[in-house]
Structure 1
Amino acid sequence: MTQLVAVWGPTGAPGRTTVAINLAAELAERGHRVLLIDADTYGGTIAPLLGIVDEAAGFAAVCRLAGNGGLSEEELERLSHRVPTGHREMLVLTGIVRSDRWPELSAERIKAALSFLGGSFEFIVADVGFNLETDEEITSDLFAPRRNAATLTVVKAAQRVVQVAGADAVSVARFIRAHSVLLEDFPEAQRIVVLNKVRGALTRLGSADPVASLSRYAGIHHPIEIRWDEKAVASAAHTGIPVRVAGTGSAIAKDFTALAAAIDGERLQASLRSGRFGRSKKSA
């Protein structure tokens, strides 16, 4: 059974694309057939971070073909990129080149694409946009495409939503506000909270402690922490490879390995019982 994992975070660059890329790479290294897709209609950056030069947006093309019934395994292979993850590889569908092309990612096309892709992969990791708003429907033609349709459709279809919060005061405040919207609009989603860019003891000073803030204001008591390593992340971006390859043995690489293990289910049930991934469905 295919697991669709949506990687979401609020506005302000909490690092959701970095998390999505490296989560997908780690899942591939665990022996799974993995597809990474860029479904961010506001500024997807998977292609440049992986050193991919793409004249056409792979995910948009796949959605277009799926929408008219023309998507096949051969077309998927032609439109995707194989990216080495170390000992294995993952497939990548790049995002739209220009943000004004967001109408190509309609809800109907994305549903058709996900339905087709579900038969070919064990994990689909989707980097989605920050915006969960649906207010645009109030002021526009009810039959017009929605810019946030890609994010909303993927999150609704996902079995798991990885919520990414940056480990600074502003990022945490933004996350807490947006997190409440996700809880309200997608109560059935299994939520896994990641505190990204953790910078050691300086992150824990007084009232600025992000873990304490998440616990107090959002009921998230034990987020999965990703320690920040500027050198490893910069090297990965410069060479277009995942952190596990660019920063072998680094703390951040180990944390991404642990995140993938949790997603893969080794610690999932025990963690859910202990409240590690935030509020339970009942308390949400």
Structure 2
Amino acid sequence: MTRRKMFDPGSVPASFWREQAVQTALARRDIGNLLRTYLSTFADCTQTQLALLTEHDRSDISNWVRGTRLGQVTDIGVLTRIAEGMQLPDDARMLMGLAPADALVTSVRDERELAGASSGRRRLDGSGPSSPRIAICGSRSEGVEDRVVDAAVRSLARLVMIRRLRVNHGPVGVGIEVMTHIADHYQPPGLRGAVAIFGRRNVIADAACVVVIGGGPGTRAETDLALAMGKQILPLGASGGTASAVLHQLLRSESRSDWLEGDYLAALRQCASLSSGASATDIEQISDDFVEMIDHLVQSNLGDASA
């Protein structure tokens, strides 16, 4: 008996993942429809081979295909095994709510690299034009709006994942919360641990953009260093704490915010306050607007770097 050749998911053309039916299944996490379309398109692939590729029982695949098992999947572990086994390209992974396979979300730096970091104002290209580096500073100290911090963590996690940002963060605080959220909700294949940086100067030394969320005295010390070093600082005022204080400082001093264009200043002001009766939707909007501003700044600086 001739043994069937194992199907190679790497042979699937990129055009398959751009088909409307496939993209709809990915966006809805409808694994049943995804597998049915896959098997009908690639006759050389069998349910048994899909089970081996995705680390599932043959009966699981059969039940999805036949519709006897709920097609929509929310379990990140299951989605990750399917994405890795079927070798989904990054666009397809992100459409399904997973991190891109080559996400750059943290890195190890040694003392020589840190010692070589510029102490002056830099564009947002800390690790080269293709991998911008930001520092995320802040904590849930007294006077901080926890609901705003929660929303900011979610929004920042999406930005870091999609834009493949490199992140500087300390051992505790909002930065490590963002990394944990990425690990728990998107599961990048290479993310097995987050590398915390000790020493406030080291956290900001090679990051041109310093994002400030909430924070207490420790965060204030980091932002004072960042200001002295000419770093670009973006505080989410509505999160309270140090972020609010630093925002007011920036708005009072043109010399400390001269790198900010008018649109950025206006956006910072809009993200500065939170009404007492703010709804969850209002908070999410403030957070998303703030993170969109960070994204625009990142892309603007990358454009300058390539000019």
Q: What TM-score, normalized to structure 2?
A: 0.35
Q: Which has the higher contact order (CA 8 A, sep 6+)?
A: 1
Q: Which has the larger radius of gyration?
A: 2
Determine which structure has the larger helix proportion and give its number: 2
Q: What TM-score, normalized to structure 1?
A: 0.37
